[in-house]
Structure 1
Amino acid sequence: MTFGPASQLGVALFEETPPLEAVPGQSTEATESLISAVYRQILGNAYVMESERAVVPESQFKRGEFSVREFARAIAKSDLYRSRTFDTCPRYRFIELNFKRLLGRAPDGLEEMRAHSTLLDTQGFEAEIDSYFDSDEYQSAYGENIVPYYRGYKTKPGQNMVGFTHMFALLRGASSSDLKGSISGKKPVLNKYVIQETPLPVIPPSGGSVGNGWSFRDPATTAPSRLGTGVGESGKVYRIEVTGYGSPGKVSRVSRFRRSNQVYFVPFDRLSQEYQRIHASGGTIASITPV
C-alpha cells in the first residue's frame, strides 16, 4: 500500500516504474538500461561523467560474470561512490544514504545507525558496504538480479512508523539528487530525529504554500502541547489528514472528492496506534504534520 496519493508525495514515478531485473539472453539495450539504473540508484540520481564510470565492473556485468547485486556492490565500493559520500559527508549522512540507496529505506532507529557506525570504526568502508549487500533483507527484497529500488515509502503491517515518516525526508521526488538536489546536501537529514525517535511531518515535494517545497525542511514551529509549552515530546499534538477510505468488497476505491477528507488531531503517544487503525480500516493518509 502506498502512503497517500503518489503524485502528491513525489513518488509517482517510483510507483509506476516496475523493478528492473536481469534475465538470461537479454538484449544489449536491456543490459545498458540496467547499468544506467544501477548508477542512478547507487549514486542517488547524480550525474556520472564518462571518465567516472566503472569500466571493469561494467565489462564483467556485460559478460555475465557479475549479477546485478555484485555489479551494484562494485559501484558502491568504487572510488566514485567513496569520494562523493564517505570522504565528503559526515558519518551519519553517509550511513543514512547507504540505507536509502542500498536497501531502499530509511534506518529504523538509533541502534541500527549505531551498529553501522561501530562497523565503520572496527572494519572500515568496504565492510560497511558489504553489510547491506550480504544481508538477508537485501536478498529477500532484491535477490541477485533486481536493481535496488526505493521501497520504504510503502506502508505494511508492523512497520516502524518513525522510520516510515523518515523515508519522506530522504526521498524528495524522482527528479532530485541526494546531494546537489537536496537542501540538506552533505548534512545529515535524520540525525537528531533518529536519536530522539521522532516522527517527521510528511509534506509534498512541491507546492506554493509556506512549509511545502521540493526539499524537506524542519517545521517552522513545533507542535503545540496539551499541557503547555516545553512539557516534552509526549505532550505534542499532530494533525493526520485522511483523503478517503476504501470501499468494502474485493475492489478498493478511494474517493477523489475533497469533501471525503477527514482530519484527526492525535497526541504523540497515540500516533502509532491511530496510524495502525487508519491503515487497518483502508484509509489513505495524505499527511502527518504538527498542528
Structure 2
Amino acid sequence: MVFGPASQLGVSLFEETAPIERLPNSSTEDLETIIRAVYRQVFGNAYIMESERAIVPESQFKRGELSVREFIRALGKSSAYSSRFFDTCPRYRFIELNFKHFLGRTPEGLEETRAHSTILDTEGFEAEIDSYLDSDEYQNAYGENIVPYYRGYKTEPNRTMVEFTHMFAMLRGASSSDFKGSLSGKSPVLNQYVIQGTPLAVIPPSGGSAGDGWSFQDRTIGSRSQGSFGTGDEGKVFRIEVTGYGSPKGKGVNRVSAFRRSNQVYLVPFNRLSATYQKIHRQGGTIASITPV
C-alpha cells in the first residue's frame, strides 16, 4: 500500500511500472531494455558515460551466461560504482545507497547498518556488495532475473513506519540522481535518524504540485536557525522548517543553485506565527512543516 496520492509523493512512475524481468523468450530489444533498467537502478539514475559501461558483462548477459542478479553483481563491483559511491562518499552514505540500489529500501535500524559497516571493515568492498545480492531477502524479492525496484516506499506487515518515512527522504522522485541530483550531496541522508530510530516528515519532491515540496535538509538549531521568542512570551512554541529559499518566481533566477544552503528552522510562539509565516513567503521560502515544540 502506498501512503497518500502517488503523484504527489513523486512515486507515481514506480507505481505504474511493472517489474522488469528476463524471460526465456526475451528478444534483443527486451534485453537492451533490461540492461538500461539495471544501470538506472544500480547507479541510482546517475549518468553513465559510454566508456564506463561494463561491455564484457553486458555481452555475457546477452548471451545468457549471466543472470540479471550476476549482471548486477558485476556492475556493483565495477570501478564506475566504486568511484561514485565508495571512494568519495562517507561510509554510511555508501551503505544507505547500497540498500537503496540493491534491496530497494533503506536500512531498518542501527544494528543493520552496523552489520554492514563490520563487513566493510573485515572483508572489504566486494564482500559488502555480495552481502546484499546473496541475501535471502534479495532472492525472495527479485530472484535471479527480476531487476530490483524500489519497495521501501510501500507500507508492509511487520515493518515500522520509520523505515517507510526514511525511504521518501532517499527517493526524491523518478528524475532524481543519487550522484549529483540530491540536495544532501555526498553526505548521509539518514545517519542520525537511523541511529535514533526517528521518523521523518514525508515531503513531496521538488517540482510537485503547486511548485512546493523542496527537500528539507535538517539543521541543528544554532547558527542557521532563528529562535524569535523570549522568556516572557506565553503560549505554545512552534518549530517551522523552511526550505527552497530563492528569488520570487518570474525573475529569471534559478531557485535552487544560489540558495541551496538556505534551509532554516524558526522557533516562534503562537502569537507570532502568522507574522513569521508572512515574512517567510515574502522572502521566497517554502514551509516544509510546522510542528509544536
Aligned residue for 1:55? 55
* Closer/same/farther in 2, CA of residues 89 and 154 from structure 1, 3 Å limit: same
Cα displacement (A) at 1:25:
2.1
Q: Which amino acid aligns with 1:21?
A: E
8 Å contact 1:165–1:200 — kept in the other structure?
yes
* Correspondence 1:169-180 to 2 at 5 A: 169-180=169-180
Aligned residue for 2:124? 124
* Closer/same/farther in 2, CA of residues 187 and 55 from structure 1, 3 Å limit: same
Q: Which amino acid aligns with 2:111?
A: E
Tell me the SS of whatever aligns to 2:162: helix
Ranges in structure 2 where 5+ consecutive residues have no aligned partner: 222-230, 232-236, 240-287
Runs of 4+ in 1 over 3 A off after TM superposition: 207-211, 287-291
Q: Quote the Cα distance in structure 1 between the aligned partners of 2:219 and 2:201.
A: 8
Aligned residue for 1:8? 8
Q: Quote the Cα distance in structure 1 between the aligned partners of 2:210 and 2:28.
A: 46
8 Å contact 1:211–1:219 — kept in the other structure?
no
Q: Which amino acid aligns with 1:100?
A: K
Establish whether residue 137 from structure 1 lines up as the match of residue 137 from structure 2. Answer: yes
Aligned residue for 1:106? 106
Q: Say what the alpha-carbon RMSD is for the aligned residues.
A: 2.5
Cα displacement (A) at 1:210:
9.8
Aligned residue for 2:42? 42
Aligned residue for 1:93? 93
Q: Which amino acid aligns with 2:177?
A: S
Aligned residue for 2:258? none
Q: Quote the Cα distance in structure 1 between the aligned partners of 2:120 and 2:219.
A: 32
Q: Quote the Cα distance in structure 1 between the aligned partners of 2:60 and 2:291.
A: 50
Identical residues among aligned pairs (%)? 72
Q: Quote the Cα distance in structure 2 between the aligned partners of 1:142 and 1:216.
A: 32
Q: Quote the Cα distance in structure 1 between the aligned partners of 2:290 and 2:143.
A: 36
Q: Quote the Cα distance in structure 1 between the aligned partners of 2:220 and 2:15.
A: 30
Cα displacement (A) at 1:26:
1.1
Ranges in structure 1 where 5+ consecutive residues have no aligned partner: 222-228, 230-235, 239-286
* Closer/same/farther in 2, CA of residues 65 and 7 from structure 1, 3 Å limit: same
* Closer/same/farther in 2, CA of residues 29 and 7 from structure 1, 3 Å limit: same
The CA deviation string for residues 13-70 of structure 1, in whole angstroms up to 9 with x for no partner, is: 0000000000012111100000000000000001111110001100110000000000
User: TM-score normalised to the size of structure 1?
Assistant: 0.74
Q: Quote the Cα distance in structure 2 between the aligned partners of 1:11 and 1:32.
A: 24
Q: Which amino acid aligns with 1:212?
A: G
Aligned residue for 2:193? 193
Cα displacement (A) at 1:159:
1.2
Tell me the SS of whatever aligns to 2:176: coil
8 Å contact 2:8–2:209 — kept in the other structure?
no
Structure 1 or 2, whichever has the larger Rg, is 2
Aligned residue for 2:283? none
8 Å contact 1:77–1:126 — kept in the other structure?
yes
* Closer/same/farther in 2, CA of residues 119 and 288 from structure 1, 3 Å limit: farther
Cα displacement (A) at 1:196:
1.1
Tell me the SS of whatever aligns to 1:157: coil
